[in-house]
Structure 1
Amino acid sequence: MKIKLYLLLLLISTSIFAQQKVVTSIDTTKNKIGAEFKLTLKTSVDTLSKVVFPKLKNIGALEVIQSYPIDTIKKDDRYELIKKYGLTQFDSGKYTIPSIKILINDKAFLTDSIKVEVANVQVDTLRQKMYDIKDIVKAQDSLGDWWKYLLGILLILGIGAFVYWYTKIRQKKKIEEEVYKTPIEKATSLLNTLEKKELWQHGEIKAYYSELTDIARNYIEEAIEIPAMESTTSELIAGLKAASLKKKMKLSQETIENLFTVLKQADLVKFAKSKPLEFEITEDRNRIQKTILTLDEAIPVEVPIEEDTILNEAQKQKQIKILLRKKRSQRIVVSVLSVFLLVSTITIYFMATKGYNYVVDNVLGHPTKELLEGEWVKSEYGNPGVIVETPKVLKRIDLTKTLPKDGMALIKEMQSFGYGSLLDNFYIMVSTIKYKKEGALDLSKSIESSLQVLESQGAQNMIVKQEDFQTNAGITGKKGYGTFTRIDGNSQSSSKIYYEILLFGQEGGLQQIMMLHEEGDRYANELSARIMNSVELKSANN
Structure 2
Amino acid sequence: MKLATTHIKFTSLLTCSFLLCTFIFAQAQSSTVSAAVDSTHIKIGEQIKYTITVETDSLNLVSFPEDQTFSPLEMVEALKIDTTKKKDRVTLQRIYALTQFDSGTYTIPPQRIAIDEKPFFTDSFRIKVADVAVDTTKQKMYDIKPLVQVEKSYTNILKYIIFALAALAILGALFYWFVLRKKPLTEEEKIALLPPYDRALKQLKELENSRYLIQDEYKKYYSELTDIVRAYLEEDVHISAMESTTDQLIERLELLKDAGELSLDDDTITQFKKVLQTADLVKFAKSKPDISIAESDRSAVEKIVVKTKEALPEPTEDDLLENEAYLEAYAAEKRKKRIYIGIGVIAGLLVLGAGISVAYFGFKTVKDTLFGYPTKELLEKEWVKSHYGVPAIELETPEVLIRKEIAIPEDAKEVIQTNGTFAYGNYLSLFSITVNSTLYKEQIEPDMEAGVGAFLGSLEKNGIKNILPKEDEFYTKSGKPGAKIYGTGQYTGEGPMNNKRFKFTGLLFGGKGFTQQVYITWEEGDAYAEQIVERILATVDVKTEM
TM-score normalized with structure 1 length: 0.49
